[in-house]
Structure formats: structure tokens, C-alpha cells
Amino acid sequence: MEAPLPELVESERIVVIVHRHADLDSVGAAVGLATTLSADVDIATPGPIAGSADRLLDDQSVVRDPDLGAYDLQIVVDAPSRQRIAPIDPTTTETPLLVVDHHEPDDLYAHATYQRVDTAAPATAALVANVLTAHDIDIPPLGAQALAAGILDDTEFRAVVMPDTRRLVCELLGTASATDTDIATLWERQPPWSERVATAKAVVRANGYKAGNRLLLVTQVSGHERAAADLLLEGGANIGVVLSNRDDHTRVVASTTDQTEMSLPEDVLEPLADALRGDAGGHATAGVAKVASTDLEAVEAAVVTQIEERLGIQFGPLT
């Protein structure tokens, strides 16, 4: 029996760090933890995510440049060295560090307060499932789905027939069947139908605003907001804003190509959330707000005004 990890159950704020070009195993392990632990969990990414793994992050709190000292526990998943997670460096703070990994030990392990390292494990996601189970923490369907995706991907699907892992994978898939999302699409080259429909609607419904050579595109979808926001940037916008009605609130997802002009959370989304009651977060070039108003026209007008005030410009219609 392994020594327990008190911080896993007692922490209020946890950051889970994935590796550079994080794959399904690293992201799946992180999402498995984020959806399961009772703490507020941020997932920190040192850079872009590989392939389809970013789809698992749709409803997660994702940060690019975490203030590591502000957390009660840092967890690195699927990376043995500082180089694999640079520029994020969990060794610079006093925050306890847990490393969960199946690679050959490297420099990160010397700094770990705790480690769950097993080079014989087929995937880090499997080690995460075992850590959670060992603490009697029930894994919810979304978490089970993310962990199963990580294990299947790292083993090229052999996990379902490997004696050591088939039982775990079948259990996770059984739990995951309670969600209505389909993980099979993670291995398709073309985005899933629902995402294609959402991004196509985003294009058709977009309102354009222009000031000088700045373009702002605002649109409405009912899902896949992040993919839609990225698409608006690919379509030429400097700033893309996607609004989504969620019964009693509106989700506002924003992306910008410009790293320096403004910080979306601080300059746009947090003031918006203050004005319309809600909360906001994210990093400088991609953020999310949740506001109480469900009047999409009013939310759109408030977003445009916020950006105008911050940049000291006035948008006109893009005709």
C-alpha cells in the first residue's frame, strides 16, 4: 500500500501541469484529475496542445502562465524533466509537487515531494486512475472518459487486451458511457460532425466590426466555442468572440492574435463579468467569461464597448 497523499483530498487549489505538445495521455490524465478532485483545478499548458487532445479541455480552466505559488499542490503528469514542461517550472516555489509519470526518471523527480512513477505502466492516465482509486475517490464519467482516452492512445488501443490494464480500461469505459460525448472522434482526422456544424454556424452568424485595420468578429453557437473562436481568427479577425446561451447564463469565449495589445481576462472579460454579474478567467490570448445575462445582443454590445474602451478606439460595422 502506497503512502497517502493528503494534499490530493485536502487542497483547495491545485494546478496540473501537462508537457509541451501535450498528447491524449498527458491531457487525459490532467482532465481526469480536474474533473474528479474536489479542489479548484487549473490545467497549465506550456504551449500548444497536440492534435485532438485540446478537445478534452473544452470545459476546463486552462492557464498558460500559472502563479505556481498560489496553489496548495502542483501535479506534473506524463513528464520526467523540467525541460519537458518549460517554461513552467514547479521547482521555483514551496508548493508541494506530485509527479505522476511512466517515463525514465529525470531531473524533476529530485524535486518531487511525492511521486507515483512506474516505468512499466502503459500510460500516465492509468497511474492517475490508480492514485484516485487508492484514495477512494470516485471518478465521474467525464474523468473516466479522459483517462480511458489517454490509456488507449498511449497503448495504441492494446490496453483493452493487456492483462494488467484491460480491467481498468473496461471499468473506465463503463463509467464513461454515462456521458453523451463520443471519444471515438478523438482519433478521427476530420473534426466531429457536431464541431463542423458549430464552426459553420459561427461563420454564417458572425457580426463584423472594423476600426482602422483591426477586425473584431462576434458570433453565437451552442457548443464548441473554443473551436469557433479559433476559426474566427483564421478568418482574419484580430479578436474573435463567441457567445453561447446556457439556460441561465451566457458563456463568452474570446481569442486574440495579439499578445501585447491587451490581456483578454484582465482588460475585457473580467470587467464584462463585473458589469453583467459573473466570473472570468484564462490567459492573455484566450479567455472565458460566464455572465448572468442571457440577452445575447446586450452581451455582444457590452463586449464591443469593453474592447473599444480598452483600446481607445471606436468600431464601425464591417460591410
Q: Which is nearer to Mn ion, 7 or 101 (CB)?
A: 101
Q: Is 25 in the site for Mn ion (CB under 5 A)?
A: yes
Rounded Cα gap, residues 87 and 20, in angstroms: 9
Size of the site for Mn ion (CB under 5 A): 4
- How near is the Cβ of 102 to Mn ion at its closest, in Å? 6
The burial of 288, by beta-carbon neighbours within 10 Å (0-12 exposed, 13-18 middle, 19 or more buried), is given as buried
Q: How far is the CB of 24 from Mn ion (least distance, A)?
A: 9
Residue 316, C-alpha cell as written in the block: 464601425
By CB under 5 A, tell whether 154 contacts Mn ion: yes
| Number of other CB atoms surrounding residue 199 within 10 Å | 22
Cell of 245: 446561451
Note whether 153 binds Mn ion by CB under 5 A: no
Stretch that binds Mn ion, among 8-16, 73-81, 134-142, 191-199 (CB under 5 A): 73-81
Q: Say what the alpha-carbon torsion angle 293, 205, 253, 62 is, to the nearest 10 degrees.
A: 140
Give least dist CB 35 to Mn ion, A.
19
Of 22-30, 136-144, 225-233, 292-300: span binding Mn ion (CB under 5 A) = 22-30
| Residue corresponding to grid cell 511512466 | 102
User: If DSSP codes are grouped into helix, strand and coil, which group holds residue 116?
Assistant: strand
Q: How far is the CB of 104 from Mn ion (least distance, A)?
A: 12
Of 18-26, 157-165, 167-175, 224-232, the window that binds Mn ion (rule: CB under 5 A) is: 18-26
Binder of Mn ion out of 42, 60, 68, 78 (CB under 5 A): 78
| Position with the least CB separation from Mn ion | 25
- Residues 107 to 126 in contact with Mn ion, rule: CB under 5 A: 124
54 vs 261 by CB, closer to Mn ion: 54
Contacts of 233 (CB under 8 A, 6+ apart): 240, 255, 256, 257
Q: Cβ of residue 186: shortest distance to Mn ion, in angstroms?
A: 15
CB of 88 or CB of 307, closer to Mn ion: 88
* CB-nearer residue toward Mn ion: 25 or 270: 25
Helical spans, DSSP H, in the chain: 6-10, 24-36, 82-85, 124-134, 141-154, 166-176, 193-205, 225-234, 270-276, 296-311
Pick 57 or 206: Cβ nearer Mn ion = 57
Residues 103 and 268: their CA atoms lie apart, in Å, by 41
Q: Which stretch binds Mn ion (CB under 5 A): 44-52, 147-155, 188-196, 277-285?
A: 147-155
Smallest distance from the beta carbon of 143 to Mn ion, in angstroms? 17
Is the CB of 154 or the CB of 195 nearer to Mn ion?
Answer: 154
Q: Of the listed pieces 43-51, 77-85, 231-239, 259-267, which binds Mn ion according to CB under 5 A?
A: 77-85
Q: Minimum distance from CB of 127 to Mn ion (Å)?
A: 9
Q: Could you tell me which residues come within 8 angstroms of residue 192 by beta carbon, excluding any fewer than 6 positions away?
A: 182, 185
Residues in a beta bridge with 286: 255, 283
Q: Which residues 6+ apart lie within 8 Å of 106 measured at CB?
A: 80, 81
Name residue, grid cell 492494446: 158
User: Which residues contribute to the site for Mn ion (CB under 5 A)?
Assistant: 25, 78, 124, 154
